[in-house]
Chain A
């Protein structure tokens, strides 16, 4: 442990920690764009500049390790001016079309622009707009908005382990791309959407969520797909699921989901969902009330049980139902119907 001072406040921090980590732990906020706690620091955006009091050096807080006796200032006029300049430089490449940008109030660049009083038009615009890369149905890439933070590249290599994206080009054309700039779905990309979920601006967007607005609530639950059991934070607007993230701090899956967990939830609100019990009749499907349908089913079950005994009925429980429901289903089979004819698709 080392002792240091941040804005005059004495802190003790682990020797291996960075200025950013120890400051945030103490509740002192330092703005960041290219930093994410799940990734190794990038030191690319320089918004996290802080000042070392004794030397006057400006240090990037995200990748500078704490040293004993350090005294760090995070909020001086000099730092504010430096951050303003950095933001102005970013905006020289970043279109100021916030009114039509899907990132809207989730955009961290916009947040800091407001905080540091940057309008985006301070410096003349450099470079041209790049075409939107929009070939697949899941991920929308608008690299004109890319600020070169490298979060997507690091997330893909360090967390997803796919290393499908890297930086290509130089100068104003410097941007992330799949190898040989192939379309994502023709590359090593697994369309897991991790990069999209971590992008601090509107350069990467989840297509299925576009134009669904902001969520009204978030619900922490479990993914309905494979058996991994990823923690899923549903983004819900009204009664619609408009997206999903992995953000529960204690969950084993950290910030990760896969293509299915992230983009495969549209079935919940699909118009094909059944909303009424149905009976197949000679005239086709007839809607029934629950009471009517259950009584008709019970009636037939009673008759079959009377005539042929419990071995003539069976239950297929479900690997998609809850534990509690499966428990009740097998209890129903065994205690109410009197048969062990209960199974599910464990073998498929």
Chain B
């Protein structure tokens, strides 16, 4: 997030897109709801599904799946056409507005209506509301990024925010919501194939020299493989060993069946986890891991807040922290490392400019939002107050491309996926809690009108099939999904919805297109999940 959660209620207008916030970031969603109920803030919701936030929205735009660049560009077009842009901000802080303006002429809301399904009048209203607000913020989650055009979507979001000057001030910003407790931190720490800690590039000789100096080993200049590429390489016999910590790719990666085959081809799969997950069951070695409640260290939240977690209970049996097993293994390979969290943070601070002022002792008094460039620095609640990372913000002319998957005779419906209120990710945690009784199994959410056409009834056992595979689940009818769109969560390994999903990904981010898959749905022939 460019801004802070505490900032949310300062906005006059909030635009939420591709985020079922009340179910997936419920406490943060409180701030949005309170702003609307008690602060007079207007909410623009842009989401194909009628997610619970719709109840709070002044405007709910329901684009067709995968048409985000089209509606975002059309909104920017309205801003420019009606001269609603923040001319001072655009002149002082950005570059490339003329090219953008010329480019966007093709994105009239009237012309985009056919692509997005959003009535031009409503889109114009939304654009005016956002642009004219004194303070307006944008929140998005995987509904924006999990597309083949995900990076373009984010650029189009940034265009809109920069045009209207809604950045760098309280109650504004471009705010992606991170879905896992420490996904922000794992990125910050360089658990990425192209970046060392602090997003320092592996392809920079200077950066590599700094790290090899500190670590006493040469750092390879070759960009590494993403998860998807590692799985592909495993399938092709190029990757021979994979060590997995607390992740469950067999359930969470697209094309689950293909993923399982690829992992099966590995000469060695090692999984450290709390439970014998679906991926662990395929491993040659399974190591018992520690949960958040059994270790010390830090997590970094979606608002870039580095926070201290504290050991509360003893781990069961001989469960070790992932850090402990990594360090011991490293020592066996001739590169000794010691697992001591406070010491590791000292090293992180030395090598990572945005964490330079952070240490465990400071965090005892409360979290700190990076960048925190030196000891005593209070942290940075709002990014880009004076300038952007590259100096001036560059507008990007991003062209709309239709999603890879199209409906047709064979696969007439579009499937989109996400999370639900009482379950989490691959389900291995929530299924073992009191929450499990709230939602025992997944279901296929379908609009009653579609069900009528297919002669299906609520509760029917149905077979959902895509080009990749098929699964069987219960049908639940709901007006949440628009006609032509069906929804499933990916929480339930027995359904493994990701077996339906294409492994095709955004070439820029490596994110698979989880949000758009063409499927057909029919009454199941009584057999269990195929």
Asked if A and B bind, the verdict is: yes
Decide if A290 is an interface residue (CB 8 Å cutoff).
yes
Tally of contacts, chain A with chain B, CB under 8 A: 469
Q: Which chain B residues lie closer than 8 Å to A276 at the CB level?
A: 288, 317-318
Q: Which residues of A contact B4 (CB under 8 A)?
A: 252
Q: How far is the CB of A223 from chain B (nearest CB, A)?
A: 7
Apart from A314-B241, A326-B185: 12 A-B pairs, beta carbons within 8 A: A137-B435, A208-B434, A226-B177, A226-B178, A228-B301, A259-B435, A267-B433, A313-B241, A327-B197, A330-B197, A345-B180, A345-B247
* A138-B317 contact in complex given A221-B312, A329-B191, C-beta closer than 8 Å: no
Interface of B is mostly: mixed
Question: Which residue of A227, A250, A341 is within 8 Å of B366 (Cβ)?
Answer: A250
Minimal Cβ-Cβ distance residue in A for B342:
A324
B223 within 8 A of A: yes
Instruction: Kindly list chain B residues whose C-beta atoms are within 8 Å of the C-beta of A319.
Output: 180-183, 185-186, 246-247
Q: Is B114 an interface residue (CB 8 A)?
A: no
Asked if A278 is at the interface of the complex by the 8 Å CB criterion, the answer is: yes
B28, B189, B253, B299: most-surrounded residue (chain A CB, <10 A):
B189
A220 within 8 A of B: yes
Contacts of A192 in B (CB 8 A): 26-27
Contacts of A158 in B (CB 8 A): 34, 38
Closest 10 CB pairs of A and B: A275-B317, A229-B301, A161-B33, A340-B224, A322-B297, A227-B178, A258-B26, A137-B437, A317-B191, A274-B288
How far is the CB of B145 from the nearest CB of chain A, in Å? 8
CA–CA, A221 and B219, complex, Å: 35
Chosen A-B contacts, 17 in total, with CB atoms closer than 8 Å, are A138-B438, A163-B37, A224-B292, A227-B180, A252-B6, A260-B430, A274-B275, A274-B276, A275-B319, A314-B233, A314-B241, A319-B182, A324-B298, A326-B186, A334-B220, A343-B224, A347-B226
- The complex places the Cα of A17 from the Cα of B53 at a distance, in Å, of 34
Q: Which positions in A face B, CB cutoff 8 Å?
A: 136-138, 157-163, 185, 188, 190-192, 207-208, 217, 219-231, 234, 236, 239-241, 250-253, 256-261, 263-270, 272-280, 285, 288, 290, 293-298, 300-302, 304, 308, 310-348
Closest to B352 in A: A327
Expressed in whole angstroms, the minimum distance between the Cβ of A36 and any Cβ of chain B is 16
How many residues on chain B are close to A (CB under 8 Å)?
Answer: 155
- Set of chain A residues within 8 Å of B52, measured between Cβ atoms: 190
**Cross-chain contact B308 with A344 (CB below 8 angstroms):** no
Interface residue SS majority, chain A: mixed
Closest-by-CB residue of A relative to B339 is A328
List, in ascending order, chain A residues with CB within 8 A of B326's CB: 325, 328-329, 332
Q: What separation, in Å, do the CA atoms of A345 and B251 have in the docked complex? A: 12
Interface centre among B5, B56, B291 (most CB of A within 10 A): B291
Question: Do residues B322 and A162 form an inter-chain contact, with CB atoms below 8 A?
Answer: no
Which residues of the partner chain B approach A185 to less than 8 Å between Cβ atoms? Answer: 438
Complex Cα distance A158/B217, Å?
56
